[in-house]
Each structure stands twice: as structure tokens, then as C-alpha cells.
Amino acid sequence: MSTEPSAVTAVQASITVQGDNIKTLFGATAPDTLFGIERDLSKTEIDESFYAAECIITVVPNASLTQAKTQKQSKITKRNYKAYEGIRSGSVPYGRTTNAPQAETEGGTPTTPTLATVSEEDVRKSLMTALKKGTVGGQYTVLGLHFIPKEFVTVRSFDRAKPTGNNLATGLPSN
């Protein structure tokens, strides 16, 4: 990938509104550049076979930590559990970025980060350090971080024929 100012250096991915709101609680500790987020869409490309890695951040209001947990029941399993009031979580995509301070070579030697040398694991470690459990925004405490790796999938097109017969999923005649 080119490193020119107008070069395409990112793939488009989605971010939840809640994830973006939670990310802003961290302020300068977790800027877009730490996640590898590029908000200028002219510097991104669409790749329908790519799903970006995600960081799921869960926070709870500090006031809820001093109160007793609320008794709740799962609507799926019908099991009882206790939970804090006001828990929020959101997912934020992340990718390779030159702002990963913990970049290492294959042998574990620290290196100056470039898009070619930084791995997803380097960025994940940097995010764990920046987002570690503690108070954020003066009002919330981080309860958990969960990371989902990037994924490439095969894109299949069903636009080759008009759906006919009983086989509407593939668009092929049912006989």
C-alpha cells in the first residue's frame, strides 16, 4: 500500500454508534489512529469479502458499582443472574496502524511500526494497554474487552438468474 497522503490505505468497516460513543469516553487515550480508523472515505476501499477485526468494549457507570447488582432472568435460557444497572457495550473495528507502540518483528524484537510490519496482534496489544480496566471519562469503569479477529469470506452472487420455481435461494430452476 502506498503511504502518500491521498493513498487508499484502509478497507471500509462498520462501527456501532454505541461503540463510537464509548470510544470517545477514552479521549486522547484511544484516538481513531490507535484503532487504525480512517474517517476520510476517499482513502478507503470496499471489500465485500473482508470483515474487520473488532474490539468490543463493555463499560458500567461508576455509581452502579457501589449499588447491589440487580436480579435478572435470561430471556433465552431462563436462568437467573445478577447484573449491574446501566452496562453499555459497543464494537469498534480495528486494523493495522503505524500508531501501534508495541510493534514487534516475528522474533519478538521491537521495531519501528510501518503498515507492512505491524500485525493485528500488535494493534490488539496496544488497544489492551490503552483500554485496560479502570475509570474512563470520569463516569464509567471498563468491565471487559473482547477481541474478534478479522475474517475473509467467499462472496457469492445470486444475481446470475431471476428466481424461478421452488429454489428461490439460488435463482436456479427447481427441475
Distance CA 24, CA 40 (A): 18
What confidence score (pLDDT) does residue 107 get? Answer: 59
Number of domains the chain contains: 1
pLDDT band, residue 116 (cuts 50/70/90): low
In a domain, 68, yes or no: yes
What confidence score (pLDDT) does residue 59 get? Answer: 92
For residue 23, give the 3-state DSSP assignment. helix
In a domain, 63, yes or no: yes
Say yes or no to pLDDT of 1 above 50: no
What confidence score (pLDDT) does residue 167 get? Answer: 47
In a domain, 161, yes or no: no
When mean pLDDT is compared across 37-51, 53-67, 71-85, 137-151, the lowest value belongs to 37-51
pLDDT band, residue 120 (cuts 50/70/90): confident
In a domain, 132, yes or no: yes
Distance CA 57, CA 104 (A): 25
Q: Which domain holds residue 18?
A: 10-152
pLDDT band, residue 2 (cuts 50/70/90): very low
Distance CA 50, CA 150 (A): 7
In a domain, 163, yes or no: no
In percent, the amount of the chain with pLDDT more than 90 equals 11
In a domain, 80, yes or no: yes
Q: What are phi and psi of 7, to 5 degrees?
A: -75, 150
Which one has a higher pLDDT value, 93 or 29?
Answer: 93
pLDDT band, residue 103 (cuts 50/70/90): low
In a domain, 52, yes or no: yes
The number of residues making up the chain comes to 175
In a domain, 160, yes or no: no
pTM of the model: 0.69
